[in-house]
Structure 1
Amino acid sequence: MPLDPATPARTRPTALVTGASAGIGREFARQLAARRHDLVLVARDVARLEELAGELRRDHGVDVEVLAADLSDRDALQRVADRLADPSRPVDLLVNNAGYGLKGRFLRNPVAVEEAAFDVLTRAVLVLSHAGATGMVERGHGAVVNVSSVAGYVASGTYSAAKSWVTVFTEGLSTELAGTGVTATALCPGFTNTEFQQRAGIAKPGPGFIWLDAPDLVSTCLADVAKGRVVSVPGWQYKTAVGLLKVLPRPLLRRGLRPQGPGGRARRRR
């Protein structure tokens, strides 16, 4: 997959980014536009997508398509899948970034709320990866980036379970894609400075060094994609954490994550 900023306009690659209106998705859109990718931006907030699209067209001279969709809605998800599968408008890079966390414990949340989050975090990744990678394999080039989380390496509610699925799914997809010219990469960030914490009502925990900056995170991921890496873990602190989490006994991890007191625990993203 070409990532050269000097790519001429007539051969510019196209990237589709979900959850592009804010946070990590917005940063992917900006960096890819700077690298001369045309873009398809997907999110629920049309106004924010249009604002970003105008910025990217103005600053980088790329073509930007806005596709409003709530990925928990199956009809809307299918519209995005159809866009990915359109052979007349090929997509060279898919970034499955859309996602959100839930406050409160699993048994205290309405099951419909949990199901909607599950659909965005897992089903959308499956459906869009299938639609995108199928066309890429036929063309012999492309890349899929599925944004997971270091939370997937621990057992801490439905969010971490979903992210564990995303990482393992991406590893399996990468194996299936071997030799096709198409790659799959699971991006596993830790705490990242974005709007997510404010939207989820999560106070910033821990010391400042554990927080990643979105621009560095995205540039690291794109470098790993170019190298064909299957799992991208930005930041020395999270590379160390993931290494430890892989060897610590699971019962010990579960004991450390038991909730203290009767209150709910906020789920965290990335």
Structure 2
Amino acid sequence: MPRPVALITGPTSGLGEGFARRYAVDGFDLVLVARDKDRLECLAAELRDEAGAQVEVVPGDLADADDRGAVAERLRAGVQVLVNNAGFGTSGEFWSTEFEVLQSQLDVNVTAVMQLTHAALPAMLAAGSGTVLNVASVAGLLPGRGSTYSASKAWVVSFTEGLANGLAGTGVGVHALCPGFVHTEFHARAGIDMAGTASFLWLEVDDVVRETMADVSKGKVVIIPGLQYKALTTGGRMVPRNVVRTLTRVVGKGRGRT
């Protein structure tokens, strides 16, 4: 029997790498999509050796329309799992950041999620099974320290919940993963200073992946790893929005990122 296939964007570090390793161990072949070809090839070699997976490498920048189109074309051929993990934040203020950077952020965080999901679903629906996992953020559920990043992740959550309603009963599951702060390269790449962030707010990649996979198997649509973040998001829904914004400014310093 052929092994099922999982396509994962942004797998060269952090959560993307964690999901790639987990799916390989679980018996999946992989299609890995990222900008850094050398890191892709290195990870692919490891997964072939350690898990016996067949790994297809697709170098590409999801901010580029042609590269997104190439990945979408691969998805139309059929995969069992799509993990829309690629995304990025930026430091600085919205009004002083180059517009091209902000547009690239939305192209990766929003447009790629929409385009790749649109390409993947027909084959999944025809098969009567499949999983789409969209990596959002707690920032999509609460007023964040930035504007465009939080808005992009709120879009991912809303998009996923709407799709979940439409896909009910089809055998295809769609899920929005909303992690808080995770020990990855994300903040360093964005140039965001996280010094002073309370230690209890940090999560580990392996823990997030393990909890996510368990919740996917239970059919949960919005997945929030970590008891601390479950408590924060529940509390955020119970108090007025202006109070949540004030707490964000005080605790999160409220500025310095888009």
Alignment TM-score, normalising by the size of structure 2: 0.94
Question: 1:24 — aligned with what?
Answer: 15
Alignment of 1:166-245 (within 5 A): 166-204=156-194, 205-245=196-236
Shift of 1:266: 2.8
Identity rate of aligned residues, in percent? 48
- Distance in 2, matches of 1:145 and 1:198, equals 24
Question: 2:80 — aligned with what?
Answer: 92
Greater mean deviation of Cα atoms: 40-49 or 199-208: 199-208
Question: 1:56 — aligned with what?
Answer: 47
Shift of 1:207: 2.2
Of 63, 67, 79, the residue aligned with 1:72 is: 63
Question: 2:113 — aligned with what?
Answer: 125
Q: How far does the alpha carbon of each residue in 1:106-130 deviate from its partner, in whole angstroms, 9 at most, with x for none?
A: 1111111100101100010001111
For structure 2, the residue ranges without an aligned partner over 5 or more in a row are none
Of 72, 78, 82, the residue aligned with 1:81 is: 72
Contact 1:17/1:29, CA 8 A, preserved across alignment: yes
Shift of 1:148: 0.3
Contact 2:142/2:233, CA 8 A, preserved across alignment: no
SS of residue paired to 1:185: strand
Of 245, 251, 258, the residue aligned with 1:254 is: 245
Of 88, 113, 135, the residue aligned with 2:101 is: 113
The one-letter code matched in structure 1 to 2:79 is: V
Aligned length: 253
Alignment TM-score, normalising by the size of structure 1: 0.90
The one-letter code matched in structure 2 to 1:141 is: S
Contact 2:82/2:132, CA 8 A, preserved across alignment: yes
Question: 2:133 — aligned with what?
Answer: 145
- Distance in 1, matches of 2:250 and 2:68, equals 35
Shift of 1:240: 0.5
SS of residue paired to 2:112: helix
For structure 1, the residue ranges without an aligned partner over 5 or more in a row are 1-9
Greater mean deviation of Cα atoms: 56-65 or 215-224: 215-224
- Distance in 1, matches of 2:225 and 2:93, equals 28
Q: Cα–Cα, structure 1 residues 209 and 257, in superposed 2: closer, same or farther, change >3 Å? A: closer
Question: 1:3 — aligned with what?
Answer: none
Contact 1:133/1:143, CA 8 A, preserved across alignment: no
Q: How far does the alpha carbon of each residue in 1:231-262 deviate from its partner, in whole angstroms, 9 at most, with x for none?
A: 111110011111011122112223344599xx
Q: How far does the alpha carbon of each residue in 1:45-73 deviate from its partner, in whole angstroms, 9 at most, with x for none?
A: 00000000000000011100000110010
The one-letter code matched in structure 2 to 1:200 is: A
- Distance in 1, matches of 2:31 and 2:184, equals 21
- Distance in 1, matches of 2:40 and 2:92, equals 29
The one-letter code matched in structure 1 to 2:52 is: G
Shift of 1:184: 0.3
The one-letter code matched in structure 1 to 2:243 is: L
The one-letter code matched in structure 1 to 2:246 is: R
Contact 1:259/1:265, CA 8 A, preserved across alignment: no
Question: 1:4 — aligned with what?
Answer: none
Shift of 1:96: 0.2
Instruction: Say whether 1:40 aligns with 2:28.
Output: no
Question: 1:5 — aligned with what?
Answer: none
Shift of 1:201: 2.3
